[in-house]
Structure 1
Amino acid sequence: MPLAIRTDACALDFLSLGALVHRLDPGVVPFRKARNFDIHVSGGEYNVAANLSDCFGLKTGVATAMVNNPVGDLVQARVREMGVAAFYKHFEHDGVRGPNIATVYSDRGQGVRAPVVFYNRANEAAALLKVGDFDWKAIMTGGCRWFHSGGIFASLSEANPDLIIDGMKAAKAQGAVVSFDLNYRGKLWKTVGGDKRAVEVLRKIVANVDCLIGNEEDMQKGLGVKGPEVTKKEESKLNPDVFFGMIENTVKEFPNIKLVATTLRETHSANRHDWAAVLWMDGQRYISPTAQLDVIDRIGGGDGFAAGTIYGLLAGRQPQEALNLGWAHGALLTTYHGDTTMATLAEVDAFAAGTGARVQR
């Protein structure tokens, strides 16, 4: 059965389930030498909803945990700015230990110095979520066209995977497409049972999924799917054949999957990347152009790709055009500070169509 997307008017075009975080970013200064920093509101699952709302004009929502303290107030304000409808399970902070909105620390690196990312997810409110915390029937009243979650949220606790599946089943019951970004993070899975549990949990979730986002490493480490042999590793990063070979193996094990997509990135330095993307949909293969990126902030590029591709599909664009929109939006997102978009749809369409970086007058 091909991927079927609702075309009727719904209250929500897109709903994500995940964790909100705030990222402290000192720019190119190593964090240990930082004197000040920008605060970015983020979250792998939320970012896609924010991008689809702010750039692409869709009606989006996020189901997540919220803490009633000043950090929570800051996060809620940023969510409102991006136009995302919020469905919160509220937690009261005890004034000392939490529950907390997680903190992500990063610096962007520069040239030969790589970016660095580390976390404080102790007593995180999102890890306390469980089945029953969200009334899916009420949230999806009026219809929902697309439901999305990801592997970062799944890794936060033993209860989160069941909540993801609960949301997916509710979304499928009323005709929504279900997508999942594997976003495999070994550091996070280490705290809830390690690689073995990651494979067990993610395979259980992916059995409910229509659309999968993830690269060959995500599928190998997150799903335990064996990949094709790569003889020259340095040539593999932009080689679509490696990814398509991985997809064939994945779809054999998960015949419910109708779409798989990922970005391909060759990192020459912190600021110079080659960027491409591939899409497998209903048995057909699609490959984007390749661009050379001058990167300001790489965090969020993958979520930008997911948002552009999902928008293209929801808007009824052909698969190749949808892929190119995702590729273009992800590329543009790396030229902004922060994790979420500052692009316009016109800019994304223009770049996807091959417009260069000449001044616009």
Structure 2
Amino acid sequence: MALAIRTDACALDFLALGALVHRLDPGVIPFRKARSVEIHVSGGEYNVAANLSDCFGLKTGICTAMVRYPIGDLVQARVREMGVQAFYKYFEHDGVRGPNIATVYSDRGYGVRPPIVFYNRANEAAALLRPGDFDWSQIFGQGVRWFHSGGIFASLSETTAELIIEAMQAARSAGAIVSFDLNYRAKLWKAAGGEKRAVEVLRRIVTHVDCLVGNEEDLQKGLGIRGPEVSRPDASRLDPAVFFEMIQATVQQFPNIQLVATTLREVHSSNRHDWAAVLWLQGQRYVSPTCQLDVLDRIGGGDGFAAGLFYGLLTGRPPQEALNLGWAHGALLTTYHGDTTMATLAEVEAFAQGGSARVQR
């Protein structure tokens, strides 16, 4: 069996709904000692659309908030650069308080020092989005094959969660596959009412979902799925059996779900990870190869995995091949600065098929 993905002519292969942010990155320097930063345009939902456009050549779009001020101009330029069609709900900046494009602060850590991530999402424009802000009949009426959103956007306000559900209902009515990345972020949900509210909100959303992306923590804390803890010193976080057990519990509670996938990561230091991925598709189990990563910037690796997997499925690749493409692209993405891809499709396919890091002459 396979997902029932539209094969007719569509304006968009993939459409995301989520918040755009700008990430300030001082590299390996902790923020308290930083003197300069790189600016990355990001967003858990947007990153997948950007990757699918820039690396994989698909027609993608993003529905999101935009603010008329210089940071908004910077963000819009980067979105255009990645080839993503934008559907913006515009907000006017008052020159002092906002609304704002959110700021994410994230250094890269080094060795035994982990990366540190914190936020300024005060008066965030994306949190003001609500049902009715987008003309879904017009957007989906042009044809959309796959619709995607995520738990980061759902955590921003009560209205963003309702907007996700409105969009998912429109997407399903229009024949699009619906995916959701749980992306559980404890700091965001703490500010939004805590773990109990996260479970209530995310469980409502997931009843509308065909394809779910999330690891053990996402399933446990985001959906309240009980599962084994990987807590023994000798236990490997690369054991797919642990995750497949939790998938069985998840699909029993949400029989609408046809696909569940995640990356498996064993962190030895900030710059040395073991990396694998698993896919459950309509009852069948698939496991990627395992590789050792020398990580330059780990932010966005999961979104890179999702993009490669979705590309494989959208282009009719066999499930194992689709999984390996996601695994390979996510691995490559950790070798670049920033949250979105710099890979080519040829590079992803070569690594997915067992390519090495030997010099290409």
TM-score range (shorter-chain normalised) is: over 0.9
Distance 1:196 1:334 in 2: 32
**Alignment match, 2:332:** 332
Deviation at 1:230, TM superposition (A): 4.8
Matched AA of 1:55:
C
| Secondary structure at 1:65 match in 2 | strand
Deviation at 1:229, TM superposition (A): 5.7
After superposition, residues 5-84 of structure 1 pair within 5 angstroms as 5-84=5-84
Deviation at 1:233, TM superposition (A): 5.6
Change beyond 3 A, Cα 1:234–1:77? farther
* CA-based RMSD: 1.0
With structure 1 as the length reference, what TM-score do the two structures score?
A: 0.99
Identity of aligned residues (%): 79
Matched AA of 2:316:
G
Change beyond 3 A, Cα 1:194–1:234? farther
| Secondary structure at 1:111 match in 2 | coil
Distance 1:221 1:113 in 2: 25
Work out whether residues 2 and 258 of structure 1, in 8 Å CA contact, stay in contact via their aligned partners in 2. Answer: no
Q: Deviations over 1:280-339 (max 9, x none)?
A: 001000000001000000000000000000000000000000000000000000000000
**Alignment match, 1:306:** 306
Distance 1:199 1:236 in 2: 27
Distance 2:233 2:182 in 1: 22
Q: 4+ residue runs of structure 1 moved beyond 6 angstroms?
A: none
Matched AA of 1:47:
N
Work out whether residues 65 and 126 of structure 2, in 8 Å CA contact, stay in contact via their aligned partners in 1. Answer: yes
**Alignment match, 1:347:** 347
Deviation at 1:133, TM superposition (A): 0.2
Distance 2:317 2:13 in 1: 15
Distance 1:100 1:237 in 2: 38
Work out whether residues 67 and 101 of structure 1, in 8 Å CA contact, stay in contact via their aligned partners in 2. Answer: yes
Work out whether residues 236 and 242 of structure 1, in 8 Å CA contact, stay in contact via their aligned partners in 2. Answer: no
Deviation at 1:140, TM superposition (A): 2.1
Distance 2:322 2:166 in 1: 28
Total equivalences in the alignment: 361
Q: Deviations over 1:19-52 (max 9, x none)?
A: 0000000101111101101000000000000000
Matched AA of 2:56:
F
Deviation at 1:7, TM superposition (A): 1.4
Q: Deviations over 1:331-354 (max 9, x none)?
A: 000000000000000000000000
| Secondary structure at 1:265 match in 2 | strand
After superposition, residues 102-251 of structure 1 pair within 5 angstroms as 102-228=102-228, 230=230, 232=232, 234-251=234-251
1:261 aligns with 2:254: no
Work out whether residues 11 and 141 of structure 1, in 8 Å CA contact, stay in contact via their aligned partners in 2. Answer: no
Distance 2:65 2:231 in 1: 45
Work out whether residues 53 and 60 of structure 1, in 8 Å CA contact, stay in contact via their aligned partners in 2. Answer: yes
Q: Note the residue ranges of structure 2 that are not aligned, 5 or more in a row.
A: none
Deviation at 1:2, TM superposition (A): 5.2
Q: Deviations over 1:164-222 (max 9, x none)?
A: 01000111111100000000011111112111110000000000000000001100000
1:292 aligns with 2:292: yes
**Alignment match, 1:4:** 4
Change beyond 3 A, Cα 1:231–1:159? closer
Work out whether residues 15 and 49 of structure 2, in 8 Å CA contact, stay in contact via their aligned partners in 1. Answer: yes
| Secondary structure at 2:269 match in 1 | coil
Matched AA of 2:243:
F
Deviation at 1:248, TM superposition (A): 0.3
Q: Note the residue ranges of structure 1 that are not aligned, 5 or more in a row.
A: none
Deviation at 1:141, TM superposition (A): 2.9
Greater alpha carbon shift after TM alignment, 186-195 vs 285-294: 186-195
Greater alpha carbon shift after TM alignment, 183-192 vs 347-356: 183-192
Change beyond 3 A, Cα 1:233–1:223? farther
Distance 1:305 1:326 in 2: 4
Distance 1:9 1:347 in 2: 28
| Secondary structure at 1:4 match in 2 | coil
Distance 2:358 2:2 in 1: 40
Distance 1:62 1:183 in 2: 18
Distance 2:27 2:234 in 1: 29
